[in-house]
């Protein structure tokens, strides 16, 4: 379990543990009870790296499988509408492909 109170990373004051719901893809994906800290002194909100990892792990569950199609000489992957909308992607827009290892190819949205 998370600590109820930790030192604020900004001002050193006392920050308390809160939880919130994070909505993604127009509410299609709801991550419940995502923990974060809110400082009582400077009112800033922040998450610890452990909390961020947990959110990332939950998001990985929603990864989608897409078939590779061919368009002329290159291969293409189509994006589901929800994903395109969420990242505000439009036709003609450029993205960067980042090969991470033999099994992971990341897409960076500029």
Residue span binding Zn ion (CB under 5 A) among the ranges 9-17, 24-32, 45-53, 78-86: 9-17
Residue of 2, 13, 52, 78 that binds Zn ion (CB under 5 A): 13
> Coil, strand or helix: which one is 82?
helix
- CA–CA distances in Å: residue 104 to residues 10, 15, 17: 35, 37, 34
User: Quick check: 43 and 52 in contact, CB under 8 A?
Assistant: no
CA dihedral defined by 56, 107, 78, 32, rounded to 10 degrees? 10
Nearer to Zn ion, 48 or 58 (CB): 48
In the complex, minimum distance from the CB of residue 36 to Zn ion, in angstroms, rounded to a whole number = 13
Residue 6 contacts Zn ion per CB under 5 A: no
Chain contacts with Zn ion (rule: CB under 5 A): 8, 10-11, 13, 39, 41-42
């Amino acid at each position: 379990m998370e600590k109820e109170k930790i030192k604020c990373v900004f001002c050193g004051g006392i920050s308390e543990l809160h939880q919130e719901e994070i909505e993604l893809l127009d509410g299609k994906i709801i991550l419940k009870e995502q923990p974060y800290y809110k400082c009582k002194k400077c009112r800033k909100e922040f998450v610890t790296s452990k909390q961020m990892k947990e959110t990332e792990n939950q998001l990985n569950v929603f990864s989608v499988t897409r078939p590779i199609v061919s368009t002329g000489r290159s291969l293409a992957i189509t994006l589901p509408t929800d994903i395109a909308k969420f990242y505000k992607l439009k036709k003609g827009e450029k993205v960067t492909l980042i090969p991470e290892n033999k099994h992971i190819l990341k897409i960076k949205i500029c």
